[in-house]
Amino acid sequence: MTSRWLLIAALSSMALACSAAGGKDDESLTPSGDASDEGGFSLDTGEGTFDVGPDGPKGPCEGLRCQQVSCPAGSDTTVSGTVYAPNGKLPLYNVIVYVPNLKPLPLTKGVTCDKCGALASGDPITTAISNHKGEFTLKNVPVGTNIPLVIQLGKWRRQVTIPTVTECVNTKITDPNKTRLPKNKSEGDMPKIAITVGGCDRLACMLPKVGIDASEFGVDGSAANVHFYAPGGSGQGPAGMKDARTLWSNAAKLKEYDLAVFSCECSERPDTKDAASFAAVNEYLNAGGRIFTTDFQYLWYKNSPDAAMRSVMPIPGGAPSGVNPVDLVTSFPKGKALADWLTYVDPKVPYGKVQCDYVFGNFSPADPAKAQVWGNSAGSFGAPSGINPRFVTINTPVGKPVESQCGKAVHLDAHINQTDQINTTFPSGCTSAIKAGEEAFAFFFFDLSSCIQKEGDPPAPPPIK
């Protein structure tokens, strides 16, 4: 053993000297994934491949890292493709794609505080994130057959294999069924979702449109991943729905779900929610929960027991009219990505405009230190210009440094779908086409699962160890 390490040490000195001189004259000395990033080499001694960094041997490579190869200048071993929603048609932004060296760990059930860079388990070898067209490119991919690939957005996760990766060229995955998120639990991991039905906005109809399988729609207690609740115990939807008060007045029950969608009830409906409800939802958000709300569901922010949440923006409420369409804010990276994405998926849409079924004016201008405004329009309260927030996200706990935040709320001060029908045979009453306002909903719905970050920063792929 001692003589072998002396040999490696000697070769290391030769390799580093060669590196300093800018040359290499032995095929056994090749740049390697981890080592070459630090100015080192991989050494093939005949007894195994060893990474050598600037300070000497780092030990043998393991698993698929041993299948990463050095390519001629100007070339690389890459894998590219496009990430899609479960329907295999709608491209998705900001989805993590990576090759793991180990089997990824099971995802924790229920609410978790998801930090950027921490969810991608399995010792990623190479990572990327999808752009506004859903496109990704992985670099320095291991060469060989049956290379594992993970596609992940929060607790959406699909694990597939690439049949063959050829060295020093691009392998393009063209089959959408290989790079879409799972439709059901048999295809991969999915977030557990609670949705409350409402008479004025049929948000639930978006779920089958983006491709979630009908087998995943059910009620509390079922094996389905999407559970329906009825505010006040009454409302159209799958048979057996429980009263929404059993959900949003119980923090422990809420924490069983990774995200919750609260549909507009046509009014504030104080009979369906009270102080216990507002406290439970606030606790859920601070623990890492995600909520999606429209129109009158502004009450979760206006009546929050958290003074910081109430201070995000004045909410006069009452659902006065706002100007349609909504003008998107493109001055921050993710806002521009939304505008670019909408134009890409629907070229008929004027750039930076979102036409909704109806736009309201419940909000006055927001505190930019506590909320990210994604869209504005004229009408109603507050600003001297008459321009007020329409699409807003709030990271929670409100006002804390981003490294201490876990949850997120998305509010669209609009109605997205006033025409589809939700009934006991859901989703039979939902149309198949996705409208412009629903496209924006789809973007926010999937982005709601992403890790918490400073919204002013561009998303970054997980680091490689």
Domain that holds residue 144: 78-187
In a domain, 409, yes or no: yes
Task: Give 385's pLDDT tier (boundaries 50, 70, 90).
Answer: low
pLDDT digits (tens, 9 = 90+) for 198-223: 888 889 999 999 999 999 999 999 99
pLDDT digits (tens, 9 = 90+) for 288-338: 999 999 999 999 999 999 999 999 999 999 999 899 999 999 999 999 999
In a domain, 452, yes or no: no
Answer with the one of 168, 187, 206 that is the final residue of a domain: 187
Query: Taking 60 as the threshold, does the pLDDT of residue 34 lie above it?
Result: no
Tell me, yes or no, whether 376 and 431 share the same domain. Answer: yes
Query: Taking 60 as the threshold, does the pLDDT of residue 361 lie above it?
Result: yes
**Domain containing 246 — which CATH number?**
3.40.50
Tell me, yes or no, whether 247 and 179 share the same domain. Answer: no
pTM of the model: 0.86
Tell me, yes or no, whether 155 and 199 share the same domain. Answer: no
Q: Report the distance separating Cα 69 and Cα 75, nearest Å.
A: 11
CA separation, residue 463 to residues 32, 97, 121, 157, 285 (Å): 17, 12, 11, 18, 27
Answer with the one of 167, 187, 207 that is the final residue of a domain: 187
**Is residue 219 classed exposed, middle or buried when 0-12, 13-18 and 19+ CB atoms within 10 A define those classes?**
middle
Task: Give 381's pLDDT tier (boundaries 50, 70, 90).
Answer: low
The lowest-confidence range among 155-164, 373-382, 404-413 is: 373-382
The three-class DSSP label of residue 217 is strand
E-strand stretches of 370-435: 372-378, 387-396, 407-412, 414-415
Tell me, yes or no, whether 333 and 425 share the same domain. Answer: yes
In a domain, 120, yes or no: yes
User: What is the model's pLDDT at position 380?
Assistant: 65
User: What is the model's pLDDT at position 24?
Assistant: 40
- What mean pLDDT, rounded, does the chain reach? 87
Domain count for the chain: 3
Query: Taking 90 as the threshold, does the pLDDT of residue 28 lie above it?
Result: no
Average the pLDDT over 179-198 and give the result.
96
Tell me, yes or no, whether 155 and 222 share the same domain. Answer: no
pLDDT winner (highest mean) among 2-11, 264-273, 277-286: 277-286
Tokens 């601070």 appear where?
286
Average the pLDDT over 355-374 and give the result.
93
Average the pLDDT over 17-46 and give the result.
44
pLDDT winner (highest mean) among 113-117, 170-174, 423-427, 459-463: 170-174
Q: Does a cis peptide bond (omega within 30 degrees of 0) precede residue 316?
A: no
User: For strand 358-359 and strand 353-354, is the pairing parallel, antiparallel, or unpaired?
Assistant: unpaired
User: What is the model's pLDDT at position 59?
Assistant: 64
Tell me, yes or no, whether 414 and 284 share the same domain. Answer: yes
In a domain, 441, yes or no: yes
In a domain, 463, yes or no: no
In a domain, 465, yes or no: no
The three-class DSSP label of residue 426 is coil
Tell me, yes or no, whether 52 and 83 share the same domain. Answer: no
Answer with the one of 123, 157, 187 that is the final residue of a domain: 187
User: What is the model's pLDDT at position 16?
Assistant: 41
Task: Please calculate the CA angle 102-105-110 and round it to the nearest 5 degrees.
Answer: 165
Q: Report the distance separating Cα 330 and Cα 353, nearest Å.
A: 11
The three-class DSSP label of residue 306 is coil
Tell me, yes or no, whether 250 and 358 share the same domain. Answer: yes
In a domain, 261, yes or no: yes
pLDDT digits (tens, 9 = 90+) for 227-276: 999 998 777 888 899 999 999 999 999 999 999 999 999 999 999 999 99
